[in-house]
Structure formats: structure tokens, C-alpha cells
Chain A
């Protein structure tokens, strides 16, 4: 096996982020930040194989803003983004039958808070594998 993949977690709730990290730590190198600004800086400094992104941060849906910014970035748009949000109800209601808002990053996947450990590991693994296959590695 190659070296451990790197996952960045952006979530403004430290306790929730710790719960996610404890699960992902078993298989990945994880870094946790608590706001989109620090998240963006982390993405500039290091290369990550997966971003776990909270939607409702700060004064509103700042996670959406960050996801849009990532999509516009030539390098970062290749990175898979796993949305972890408490708002699935609303998103699913507005976009029935779709995993997530069509305006998001095309590689998005969405899971609802709280997330079962097995489901989280499975989704994270699938996104990283799909991304590697896409990039021909």
C-alpha cells in the first residue's frame, strides 16, 4: 500500500469534528480546522485527498461559499468533497432525487450529521478511489 491519504475536515463545531476525526484517523491522516478561512489556507499549503466540509458555518451557509470557491480553482477542483451537514432535509426537499445541489462541485457526496462510522469510511473511501481512477493513478 502507498502512504496514508490525507483528509481535511472543516467544521466549526469542535466536538463534532473530533467525532469525525476519530473515525477517519483509523485510516487516514487527518487535519481539522474550524472555519472556512483556515480551511482555505490549509488547502493552499498542503495537498489533500479528500475534504470533509460542513455547510452551516459562521453566519450562514459559509460551507457553500467554500465549495464554490474550490470548484473555480483549477487544482482544487480535482479534490473530492464530502459534504457533512445537518441540512439534508432541506437540500433533499428542494432537489428531490439528487444527491446534492446541482451547483456544487461535481464530485460532491453528501452525508447527514451525525454519520455512522461505517458509512463515513465507505463514502470517504469511495470518493478517494473514484478520484484516483479519474486522474489515472
Chain B
């Protein structure tokens, strides 16, 4: 069934094991290579790109566990099976925690070995396919903007444009009820267009060119804008938004983009707050970074969702709780923060609230650990 020859690498310091494995595989359709030490095995794995690796755990020099970890780090799609001497179940379990697919206790029969090879190669096929699918999905994601703009937005715009004209032309001709029906159609199309626009902003906006227009920005400006833009929702939910700005905190950046980033974070904090809660936006400086933290006392983020909240389209439990959103805001925020050389992170106590921290390189900040900076040194980097 397999037309392409598969590559199996055997790493073991015992020559007798390698020899007997080679004998078992002599008539097989696979290409087999052997290595007598961990270091040699690792080199061969990197150069030869095997599909399946068998590695002995107990070897002098580089241990099997280390080889396993390094192969997994080099290419996680390579399937690794460990040979274990005696009944070292504990180390076999440890190896599987480090990414081994399975283990084969020594001594093993030729059939046990062949079966393990077959299973290992089947696993390899599954992993490779899964990786290919994931790459395809990433590519699709990147092309999404183009697809959306042409395939979705154009027809919607055309429909809406003609509805505009029709409603205007039929003014006074149709009944009130008919006119309202047309206007409902138009307003639903408008909602759909707004949704598509939000997607577009998340995907097609290339943030890299922003760098060309970077200039000193006092972070208090974007903070104030973000707080203001969250006010309508905050007032509606009786959420108190408190901003403690530091007027001396200045970064190199794009004011509009930084505002966009903060609008998303502050807006989210208000969105996920309980009625009557509070949101605190504070600005400080730490180790040459301007640190903006946004703390809410809201519903919090489940631990399982935390690592993925900055991924595009990820909505986690927000999707179930009925809070509106396209899963774009935080992804865009991260891209903006990163183009400014900064980072964004979140911690959360489910049920109690979340803290989002944005760190951006501070402009003319003192070198860490050097509190007093002579003025002439401050002005050195301020050509722009």
C-alpha cells in the first residue's frame, strides 16, 4: 500500500540489538539506518529526516531521553518509540511524557518489533496529515482577508447600494409598511457588512508599515481615548472606569494604532465586567518598559482559554456566554503591540476578574538599575 519507502532510524549502544533489528527488517520495504550512540543518532535524525525513530533510553553519553527531546524539538512530526531494558515502566512513562509515541520493552520478538514499526509508521502518516491540514488552515486564515473582501463584501455592497436607491426611488410610492420592510433589509445588510469589516481589520491590515511613521507618543493620549470609547458601554452597565495615567510615560509608536490596541483591551474589560463593577487602567514604568495594565473585576477567563485568547477567531467561553464579538480584537491588539516591540499578556482568576498587561519599550527611559540619568544622555537618542 505504501508506495514511498519509509525511513526507520534505530539508536542503541548495544550492537546485538541493532544487528537483530536489522535482521528482522532485512526483507522489509523500509530504509533502515542505525546509530550506536545518542549523539550519532541525533546527527543522523537531523540529516536523514526519518519517519520513525527507535531509541534506547539507557546509553552512555547523551541519554535516550535527551535524544528524544532534541528530535522532538527539531521536528515534532517524527514519531519516536523508546526501547526500554528490564521492566523500567517508570522511565517509559517519563519518555512518553516527553513526546515518545510508545515503548517497546526488551527483549522483544520479531513480531512485536514489526507490529511496533507498522503502528509507528501509521502514527507518522496521521501526524504528517494533521500538520499539513494545520498549515493549510493557517494559509487560509492569511488569505481570508482577500477572500472576504472579494467574495463576501462586494455582493453585499452591491445589494446595499441598490437598496439605497430603491428605497429612495420608491419614497411616496410604497406603503409605510413596505418602506419599513425595505429598511429592515437594508439594516440587516449593514450589520453583515459591519461584521465583514471587523474581520477585514483583523486580517488584512498590515501593521508592519506603521513603523515608518513612528514618533514619540505619550501613552496617556491613547489611554484617554480608549477610556472614552468604552464610556458608553461602561455607563450602560454602571461600570466605573478609572484611569491613572503617567504623563511622563512616552513610547515610540503610532498613536492611532496604540489607541486601537487599548480600545480593544479596555473595551473587553468593560464588556466582561459585571454590572456595577470597576475597571482600572494604570500606567507605570518598569525596567525600561512602559507598562499599561488593565484590571477588571469581571467574570474572568478560564485557565484553558488563556493561552489562546490572542489567537484570531478564538472566542472561548465568550461564545457561550452570548457576548458579541468576532474574536478579532485581541489578535489585532497583539499584532499592534508586537510591531511596537512590546508584549501583551493576561492573567485571570475565573470568577474574580482578569489583568491584561501591555509592555512597550519606553522612550528616553533610564537604563535599568540606573536611577539618575544625566540630561545630556537622555537627549542623545531623541533625534526625531
Contacts and interface: CB of A to CB of B under 8 A. Distances in A.
Contacts of A96: 254-257
B149 A114 contact: no
Contact of A114 (B150, B160, B206, B254): B160
Contacts of A99: none
Interface in B158-177: 158-162, 164-165, 168-169
Interface string A103-126: 000000000011111000000000
A90 B205 contact: yes
A97 to B, nearest CB: 7
A93 B256 contact: yes
Contact of A15 (B158, B205, B257, B260): B158
A13 B158 contact: yes
Contacts, number: 71
B128 interface: no
How big is the A interface, by class?
A: 20 to 34
Given A93-B205, A97-B256, A20 B153 contact: no
A89 B158 CA distance: 18
Interface residues of B, number: 29
Contacts of A113: 153, 157, 161
Contacts of B168: 23, 117
Contacts of A23: 164-165, 168
A13 B193 contact: no
A19 B162 contact: yes
Interface in B199-226: 200-201, 204-206, 209-210
Q: Which of B159, B165, B168, B205 lies at the interface centre, i.e. has the most chain A CB atoms within 10 A of its CB?
A: B165
A19 B209 contact: no
Contacts of A93: 201, 205, 256-257, 260
Contacts of A116: 164
Q: Which of A19, A56, A87, A93 lies at the interface centre, i.e. has the most chain B CB atoms within 10 A of its CB?
A: A93
B154 interface: yes
Q: Which of B150, B158, B254, B257 lies at the interface centre, i.e. has the most chain A CB atoms within 10 A of its CB?
A: B158
Contact of B153 (A15, A86, A97, A115): A86
A19 B153 contact: no
B282 interface: no
B162 A18 contact: yes
A118 to B, nearest CB: 9
B197 interface: yes
Contacts of B197: 89
Given A114-B164, A117-B164, A16 B157 contact: yes
B26 to A, nearest CB: 57
Given A16-B158, A56-B149, A117 B209 contact: no
Interface string A83-105: 00011011001101100000000
A20 B161 contact: yes
Given A56-B150, A87-B149, A114-B193, A22 B157 contact: no
Contacts of B209: 94
Interface in B232-246: none
A116 B163 CA distance: 10
Interface in A37-88: 56, 86-87
B143 to A, nearest CB: 14
A22 B165 contact: yes
B157 A89 contact: no
A15 B163 CA distance: 11
Interface of B: 149-150, 153-155, 157-162, 164-165, 168-169, 193, 197, 200-201, 204-206, 209-210, 254-257, 260
Interface of A: 13, 15-16, 18-20, 22-23, 56, 86-87, 89-90, 93-94, 96-97, 113-117
21 contacts: A13-B154, A13-B157, A13-B158, A15-B155, A15-B159, A15-B162, A19-B161, A20-B161, A23-B168, A56-B149, A89-B201, A90-B201, A93-B201, A93-B257, A94-B205, A94-B210, A96-B255, A96-B257, A97-B256, A114-B158, A115-B161
